[in-house]
Amino acid sequence: MLMLLPVFAAAQAQFHVGAEAGRILNDDNPYWQVGITGSYTRHLYENLSFDADAIVFYQNVEQFGMPFVIHGHTLGAGIGINAIMHIGGPMSLFTGPKAQCNLVQADYSMHRANVQWRVGLQADFMRIRIRASWDILCTNRGYYGPKGSLLSVGVAWAL
């Protein structure tokens, strides 16, 4: 851990806080998710940055299936790591793994943890960051639950 400290402690690092909203698109019964995000971006080389982010999210799930119907709400958390390649002006492409887990299930029994691969596009204007991403589902360990990939948009403010 101490060997990684110089990578994270630098003058060209930036913290962002913001909000993100998304919807599962390729599931039989789509659901939506909203969350509060925080990220730490570290510039490494000329056109390359590293981003570590965290999210606390709320999901609304409606699944219609046999033998019963699931209506539920969950509260969860996730972490991710992204490589960011600056492509010109304020625009950047990013990609990396993301893991998330439901912490509280209210209304139904859906204990879900998964790993996703995130790809997206972001733009940084002064202190504002706007992001659009697709979280491609790699694993899904759940009792009952959505099995789709998340398309999301977010906005964040640099501290």
In sequence order, which residues have a C-beta less than 8 Å from that of residue 50 and are 6 or more positions away?
7, 41, 42, 44, 81, 82, 83, 84
Element (H, E) at 8: helix 5-8
- Among 64-78, 92-106, 116-130, name the one with the lowest average pLDDT: 64-78
pLDDT band of 69, cuts 50, 70, 90: low
pTM of the model: 0.80
| Residue-level pLDDT at 38 | 95
> From CA 115, how far away is CA 97, in angstroms rounded?
7
% residues pLDDT > 70 (the chain): 72
Q: What is the mean pLDDT of residues 57-82?
A: 75
- Per the model's pLDDT, the better-predicted residue between 146 and 80 turns out to be 80
Tell me which range, 25-34, 87-96, 133-142, is most confidently predicted by mean pLDDT: 87-96
Query: What pLDDT is attached to residue 52?
Result: 95
Q: Look at residue 33 in the predicted model and tell me its pLDDT.
A: 87
Q: 95 and 87 in contact (C-beta within 8 Å)?
A: no
The radius of gyration of the chain's CA atoms, rounded to the nearest angstrom, is 17
Please state which architecture CATH assigns to domain 14-158.
Beta Barrel (2.40)
The answer to whether residue 84 scores a pLDDT higher than 80 is yes
Domains of the chain, residue spans: 14-158
Residue 66 pLDDT greater than 70, yes or no:
no
Q: 1: pLDDT confidence band, cut at 50, 70 and 90?
A: very low
